[in-house]
């Protein structure tokens, strides 16, 4: 799964990297992004827009939010069959910018936090889905989820799953909702080459979702 990640960049960094034409959300460095928080996403509807959505997908057809648990992750294997994700996979795909994510590796009975990132520390995009829910009173709630895939390479020693990181050449196609064939969409998903990534043991400060400071990504021996 993916339950915590980082985006240590600014709005200008994202504009340049993802070809954003309209920014309606100011991005500031984040070191411990957690579910239920607002997160930066890139959507395309004639032009690429940088916006903020709440992390934890609520499907448009939901009736009672009190009885619904928002989904922070969507498993690649069930995207087509699950009603929560099926429509979004066809019509509501987005990029979720990041520069690393956290996993916890069990060692000697304790969980050690790891910051997994690109070896060159570059920006990348999770494959995301979004949806828009409206209450009978007209309240609008826009939410998103990160797709997960089976882990590959050395990452399997940490966790059996990982977030779906899109190859740069697939990002434009992922945003193109004219592409609706499930097989073609799913072909863009898979474990990112682990040899291009690294894992750094970081401070246990990251264990608390209330912490969001450079200390969370501070390497430790």
Q: Kindly list the catalytic residues.
A: 2, 103
Q: Which two tokens stand for residue 8?
A: 């240590």
The per-type count for the chain, helices as H runs and strands as E runs, is: 4, 13
Q: What span, in angstroms and rounded, lies between the C-alpha atoms of 129 and 59?
A: 10
Of the candidates 35, 189, 18, 126, the residue with the CA atom closest to the CA atom of residue 27: 18
Contact 185, 164 (CB under 8 A): no
Q: What span, in angstroms and rounded, lies between the C-alpha atoms of 119 and 197?
A: 5
DSSP for residue 166: P
Q: What span, in angstroms and rounded, lies between the C-alpha atoms of 190 and 137?
A: 40
Q: Which two tokens stand for residue 160?
A: 């059996």
Q: What span, in angstroms and rounded, lies between the C-alpha atoms of 56 and 155?
A: 24
How far is residue 109 from each of residues 104, 106, 204, measured CA to CA in Å?
12, 6, 15
Provide the 10 A C-beta neighbour count for residue 20. 23
């Amino acid at each position: 799964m993916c339950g915590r990640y980082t985006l240590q960049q600014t709005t200008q960094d994202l504009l340049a990297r993802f070809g954003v034409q309209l920014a309606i959300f100011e991005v500031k460095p984040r070191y411990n992004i957690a579910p239920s928080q607002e997160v930066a996403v890139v959507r395309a509807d004639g032009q690429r827009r940088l916006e903020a959505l709440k992390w934890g997908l609520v499907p448009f057809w939901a009736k009672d939010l009190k009885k619904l648990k928002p989904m922070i992750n969507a498993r690649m294997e069930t995207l087509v069959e699950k009603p929560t994700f099926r429509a979004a996979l066809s019509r509501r795909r987005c990029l979720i910018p990041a520069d690393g994510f956290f996993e916890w590796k069990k060692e000697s009975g304790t969980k050690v936090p790891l910051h997994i990132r690109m070896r060159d520390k570059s920006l990348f995009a999770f494959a995301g889905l979004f949806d828009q829910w409206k209450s009978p009173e007209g309240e609008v709630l826009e939410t998103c989820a990160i797709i997960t895939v089976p882990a590959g390479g050395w990452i399997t020693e940490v966790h059996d799953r990982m977030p779906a990181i899109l190859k740069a050449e697939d990002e434009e196609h992922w945003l193109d909702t004219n592409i609706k064939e499930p097989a073609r969409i799913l072909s863009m998903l898979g474990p990112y080459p682990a040899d291009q990534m690294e894992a750094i043991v970081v401070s246990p400060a990251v264990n608390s979702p209330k912490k969001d400071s450079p200390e969370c990504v501070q390497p430790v021996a």
